[in-house]
Structure 1
Amino acid sequence: MSELRKANVLEATYFVTLTVVGWIDVFTRKEYADEIIKNLKFCQQKKDLEIFEYVIMPSHIHLICRRNQGLLSELLRDFKSYTAEQILQLIRDNPQESRKEWLMYMFQFFANRHAQNSDNMFWQKTNHPIELYSNKVIQQKIDYIQQNPVAAGIVTERYYYLYSSACADSPLQVSEM
């Protein structure tokens, strides 16, 4: 991660955004969003990731989170690297993926624009970490996360969106702030 701002304050809580290159709508397919959930759960169980709020939108993910041991920036780097490989393989192997050729072309296109990527690039380089330092900022980011699917016109109420901490049936358990 070669950005100026990194999530490098030990045990600090951050608002982060992980964005698919070109804002490509990948997480419209359940199996790809479920892969993200599976990997977030792994990070919670094995990598000391604590998630307070989240939403998986079609082309990006917002998290309010912290890492209790180690740097969050390192965890995010590893998470993005691993999930990129997994999702790219799911796309390649998915016979129902009608956009397979176009998706793979786009991931190759973005990789060619960055020297450190070999064949494909799935995630944008930046995470835009914002350290949450006051209750006012925390509440603003919670509201933003929970309203994101409503603002995008995907659902009419925040609690209808399955891949969000606002949903009672959310597949990912979150911690209390």
Structure 2
Amino acid sequence: MDDSLNYYIPNKGLTVHAYVYMSSHIHLIISSQENELQDIIRDLKKYTSKEFIKAIKKLPESRREWLLAKFNYAAKRVKKGVSYKVWKDGYHPVILDTSKKIEQRINYIHYNPVVSELVYHERDWKNSSYAIYEEDNPEIPSVKAQPLW
């Protein structure tokens, strides 16, 4: 996913302000001056779906057959002519038009791994932009995120 987001930054005018990758979903705070966000999300889902399926087929994954069957079943349910469906349709945009809303949403997504009991503190979840918001943290997240303040 890092490579995909980092591709969209210069090529689609995407700015990533905050993110958290979870095992079953992703939280993003993004903006773009060049493209509609729904188009970026659509293209990102399409590309990452293909890459996920390629990786599952290629890597020695013990759950390979189960995963492919689940994604195939999901594709057949929506009848869109694809063999595998990885992502749910749509996305849930939230307009962040005040500094209070921005801060609340950033805190919410960074705290998600704690709520899920995967880590004790946000800084412990490596698949996150938390480090760019934490003062005096030398770690740089792998996605080139731009803080909102």
Quote the sequence identity (%): 32
- 1:77-116 equivalences under 5 Å are 77-95=42-60, 97-116=61-80
1:145 aligns with 2:116: no
Q: TM-score by structure 2 length?
A: 0.91
Deviation >4 Å, runs of 4+: none
1:158 aligns with 2:129: no
The Cα of 1:102 is off from its aligned counterpart by 0.4
Structure number with higher relative contact order (C-alpha < 8 Å, ≥ 6 residues apart): 1
The Cα of 1:171 is off from its aligned counterpart by 1.1
Q: Distance in 2 between matches of 1:170 and 1:160?
A: 12
Provide the residue aligned with 1:172 in structure 2.
143
1:44 aligns with 2:9: yes
In terms of fraction of residues, the more helix-rich structure is: 2
Q: Distance in 2 between matches of 1:132 and 1:163?
A: 22
Gaps spanning 5+ residues in structure 1: where? 1-35
Q: Distance in 2 between matches of 1:106 and 1:127?
A: 21
Comparing 77-86 with 108-117, which one deviates more in the overlay?
108-117
The Cα of 1:54 is off from its aligned counterpart by 0.2
Q: Distance in 1 between matches of 2:113 and 2:70?
A: 25
Aligned length: 141
The Cα of 1:134 is off from its aligned counterpart by 1.4
8 Å CA contact 1:162–1:169 kept in 2: the answer is no
The Cα of 1:133 is off from its aligned counterpart by 1.4
Gaps spanning 5+ residues in structure 2: where? 132-138
Provide the residue aligned with 1:64 in structure 2.
29
1:132 aligns with 2:132: no
CA deviation vs aligned residue, 1:25-64 (integer Å, no higher than 9, x gap): xxxxxxxxxxx00000000121100010000001000000
CA spacing shift, 1:133–1:121, aligned 2, 3 Å: same
User: If you compute each CA radius of gyration, which structure gives the higher value, 1 or 2?
Assistant: 2
SS of match in other structure, 1:53: strand
CA deviation vs aligned residue, 1:11-35 (integer Å, no higher than 9, x gap): xxxxxxxxxxxxxxxxxxxxxxxxx
The Cα of 1:94 is off from its aligned counterpart by 0.6
RMSD, aligned α-carbons: 1.0
Provide the residue aligned with 1:121 in structure 2.
85
